[in-house]
Amino acid sequence: MNFLAPFGFFFALFLPAVIILYLLKLKRIDQPISSTLLWRKSLEDLKANTPFQKLKRNLLLFLQLLIIALMTFAIVRPVLRLGGLQGQSFIVMIDASASMSAVDVKPSRLEAAKRKAIELVDDMSMGDRMMVLSFSANARVLTSFEQSKAVLKRSIRDISPTDAGTHIQDALRIARSASDVAVNPEIIVLSDGQFVIPSDISLGGGEFRFVPVGESAENVGIIDLVVRKDFTMEERYEILVGIKNTGLQEQEAYVELWGEGEAAPALVSSPTENTDVEPARALLDARRITMAAGASETILFKDPGNFPEKIEVVLDSGDVLEADNHAWAIVPQEKAIDVLLVSNGNYYLQRVLNLHPRVRLFTSTPLQYARPEEYDIVVFDSFSPPALIGGNYVFINAVPPLSDWSYGEALQFPVIVDWNQSHPLNRYLNYENLVISQCNNIGTPSWVDVILESRETPLIVTFQQEEIRGVVTNFDVYKSTWPRQVSFPIFFTNLINWFQSSEGFAQFMKRTGDVLVIDPPEDLTLTAQLIPPEPAGAQEIAFSGVNPVYFNQTTHRGIYEYRVGDQRRKRYAVNLLSPEESAILPKTSLTFPNTEIEGDEDAVEANREIWRTLTAAALLVLLLEWWIYIKRARYSF
Q: What is the CATH number of the domain that holds 398?
A: 3.40.50.880
Same domain, 328 and 417: no
Same domain, 112 and 75: no
CATH number at residue 286: 2.60.40.10
Average pLDDT along the chain, 637 residues, taken 10 residues at a time:
67 71 60 64 56 61 75 71 60 95 95 94 84 94 93 95 92 91 90 87 79 94 86 69 95 93 49 53 92 94 79 93 94 81 94 88 91 86 91 94 90 93 88 93 92 94 90 95 93 87 63 90 88 87 87 93 90 93 93 84 58 76 75 61
DSSP string covering 565-616, please?
TTEEEEEEEEE---HHHH--PPPSEEEETTEEEEB-GGGG--SEE-HHHHHH
Residue 84 covered by a domain: no
Residue 282 covered by a domain: yes
* Residue pLDDT, tens place only, 229-283: 765 545 578 889 999 999 999 999 999 999 987 654 444 444 444 445 556 788 9
Residue 508 covered by a domain: no
Residue 578 covered by a domain: no
CATH number at residue 199: 3.40.50.410
Residue 406 covered by a domain: yes
pLDDT at 49: 53
Same domain, 362 and 487: yes
Same domain, 526 and 622: no
3-state secondary structure of 436: strand
pLDDT at 417: 93
Same domain, 562 and 420: no
pLDDT at 270: 42
pLDDT at 133: 96
Residue 291 covered by a domain: yes
Same domain, 401 and 549: no
User: β-pairing, 377-381 with 391-396?
Assistant: parallel
Query: Domain residues for 473?
Result: 337-503
Phi-psi region of 204 (alpha: psi -120 to 50; beta: other; left: phi over 0): left
Same domain, 446 and 473: yes
Domains contained in the chain, number: 5
Same domain, 318 and 176: no
Same domain, 397 and 425: yes
Same domain, 460 and 359: yes
3-state secondary structure of 449: strand
Q: Is the dihedral of CA 58, 61, 67, 69 positive or negative?
A: negative
Same domain, 159 and 120: yes
User: β-pairing, 558-564 with 528-531?
Assistant: antiparallel
Q: Report the interhelical angle of 109-122 vs 149-157 (nearest 10°).
A: 180
pLDDT at 621: 78
Same domain, 485 and 344: yes
Using the 3D structure, point to which of 503, 532, 548 is the last residue of a domain. Answer: 503
Distance of CA 420 to the CA centre of its chain: 37
Residue 575 covered by a domain: no
* Residue pLDDT, tens place only, 599-624: 887 655 545 566 677 777 878 877 77
Q: What are phi and psi of 338, to 5 degrees?
A: -85, 120
Residue 577 covered by a domain: no
pTM here is 0.65
